[in-house]
Structure 1
Amino acid sequence: MAAKVGAALPRNGEDIDDIEVDAFVQAMARRHGYDFSGYAPASLRRRVLALAQSMELAHVGELTARVLRDDALVPAVIARLSVPVSEMFRNPSVFRRLRDEVFPVLASHPHINIWQAGCAHGQEVYSLAILLKEAGLYERCQIYATDFSDEALARAQEGIFPIRDARLYSENYLAAGGRHTLSDYYHARYDFMKLDESLKKRVTFANHNLVCDGVFCEAQLILCRNVLIYFSDSLQDRVLGLFRDSLARGGVLCLGNRESIRFAPSARDFVPIDAELRLYRHAGGWA
């Protein structure tokens, strides 16, 4: 029997998943203002499917229905769709280069603004605070730690991490050029380490969405490590433009080791300090 003219062709399971993920993305944008349309499709699809499965839902359509009707569910959904994977002094050579090459330039400023975009659970924020303390710069700094997940921000503000990670963090700290021992900066109790409250003194935690929000502050240093890899090419370029507009003249941008600006139109606005370590200077020159 001939197919009916104009009738939709049968779709396999993968196509249905893609359609449902698209519907979910539209629902989050139109109902709650969170736009995931610029995220790398394969990565977003995996995370949305995993989220539906973790909630024991039969398909993504059920997840869409729930977020449309239950506002209280949205923070947990946002937290699961973000990728808050980090460690203190991750890639220590980057932090050592910041300490040796960038901090001396920052020292010429009477007041230093630093933006840690996509701060996740805060490990890198506290790493930066420790090195700034040891360089004698911390009291002149204002660190803005932002993320689009309120749940991630709450955990970052606590400054509490599993003690099982202390050995790795300590090794990273020494490799990054730490001058003391990491245990000088935390208190261990039971199975957790709580970072010293003094490390929060110059840190402001705030919600900011790189996808749709504008310039957050004028900064001499911006760190956004391993966030752009989850964005499409066009969204990556949009965010790089945001960082360009947020950097003071000659300011420094630090990206993750899996990221590159080589093919982005905005690359012309940055000069490599160390392309391998993903450190770039605003093309306007040092401030």
Structure 2
Amino acid sequence: MHNKIEDIEVRLFLEAIYLKYHYDFRGYAMASIKRRLFQARDHFGCRSISMLQDMVLHEEAMLGALMSYLTVQVSELFRDPAYFRAIREKVVPHLKTYPSLKVWIAGCSTGEELYSFAILFREEGLEERTLFYATDINQDSLRKAEAGVYDLDRMRLFTENHRLSGGKTSLADYYTAAYGAATFDKSLRKHVVFSDHSLVTDAVFAETQFVSCRNVLIYFNRDLQNRAVALFADSLSRKGFLGLGAKETLRFTDHHYKFDEFARDERLYQKREAA
């Protein structure tokens, strides 16, 4: 009975967030969203999700803090280096045939994925002809992405990932270290547009040649996954590329037929000519 009441509370909470703030988490996978809401409930010292809902509805400043629980914040530079190596070796030769490029980093969180692409494109001579769109629904994450400041103790892992991805330079060339923090060079953001965008409610905003959306779809239910993949297919130009996370696949979505597997193990897909 207790679990049933909790489920009702969670659904009412998500409905309230949508009605008041227009953030729509109602199509997120229930087990995942419940776990995160319980963490938030405990963090804010609430007895129940209903009590948390009362706080969020009446104290607008609470929303920012809550978003860090509801949106995924875990990332690293060149995460899953084989993914970036495959882009470097297999996708870049195709991208080099375009006079100009648009790359969409969907669900960019605090920017690690964006800086990975900016560095890779600089190393491969593509940066000057590329415009990057870095989007997320979490404004706080977008601000952190735009600042490009990370804990210095993360740099060892980032550096190793960069090396394994086939990096052609030293990662240290791209940041300055001071006071326990690494600040990435603002020149890496020269071709970047940071923007609030929801895969749940917003439309396509540009034609792109590459979409990278990793470790976001696993938090969506089937309907929402279908909506997101349809957005990516609509955004991508003919023979454009889509990259997903290591545990994600297009196989079970309604739009799988619009794509060919380009590098199966690295979850890289190419839009079909007649998609």
What's the TM-score bracket when you normalise by the shorter of the two chains?
A: over 0.9
Partner of 2:229: 240
Q: Cα offset for 1:72?
A: 2.4
Match of 1:141 among 130, 139, 152: 130
CA contact (8 A) 1:115 1:143 kept: yes
Partner of 2:19: 30
Residue deviations 1:71-123 (CA, integer Å, cap 9, x gap): 22222212221011000000111101111111121111111000000001101
Does residue 211 (structure 1) correspond to residue 211 (structure 2)? The answer is no
Partner of 2:154: 165
Q: Distance in 1 between matches of 2:151 and 2:52?
A: 31
Residue aligned with 1:276, SS: helix
Partner of 2:86: 97
Partner of 1:186: 175
Q: Distance in 2 between matches of 1:46 and 1:80?
A: 10
Name the amino acid aligned to 2:8.
I
Unaligned runs of 5+ in 1: 1-11
Q: Cα offset for 1:285?
A: 7.1
Residue aligned with 2:209, SS: strand
- Aligned ranges for residues 1-287 of structure 1 at < 5 Å? 12-284=1-273
Say if 1:285 and 1:221 are closer, same or farther in 2 by CA, change over 3 A: farther
Residue aligned with 2:266, SS: coil
Residue aligned with 1:280, SS: strand
Residue aligned with 2:237, SS: strand
Q: Which has the larger radius of gyration?
A: 1
Name the amino acid aligned to 2:19.
R
CA contact (8 A) 1:161 1:192 kept: yes
Residue deviations 1:220-269 (CA, integer Å, cap 9, x gap): 00000000000001110111001000101110000000101111111011
Q: Cα offset for 1:70?
A: 2.1
Q: Distance in 1 between matches of 2:41 and 2:135?
A: 26
CA contact (8 A) 1:250 1:285 kept: no
Residue aligned with 1:146, SS: strand
Q: Distance in 1 between matches of 2:31 and 2:193?
A: 33
Q: Distance in 1 between matches of 2:61 and 2:179?
A: 32
CA contact (8 A) 1:113 1:220 kept: yes
Q: Distance in 2 between matches of 1:187 and 1:215?
A: 36
Name the amino acid aligned to 1:250.
K
Residue aligned with 1:25, SS: helix
Name the amino acid aligned to 1:229.
I
TM-score with structure 2 length normalisation? Answer: 0.98
Q: Distance in 1 between matches of 2:155 and 2:227?
A: 37
Provide runs of 4+ in structure 1 moved above 6 Å. Answer: none
Q: Distance in 2 between matches of 1:76 and 1:104?
A: 42
Residue aligned with 2:61, SS: helix
Name the amino acid aligned to 2:256.
A
Supply the RMSD in Å over aligned alpha carbons: 1.2
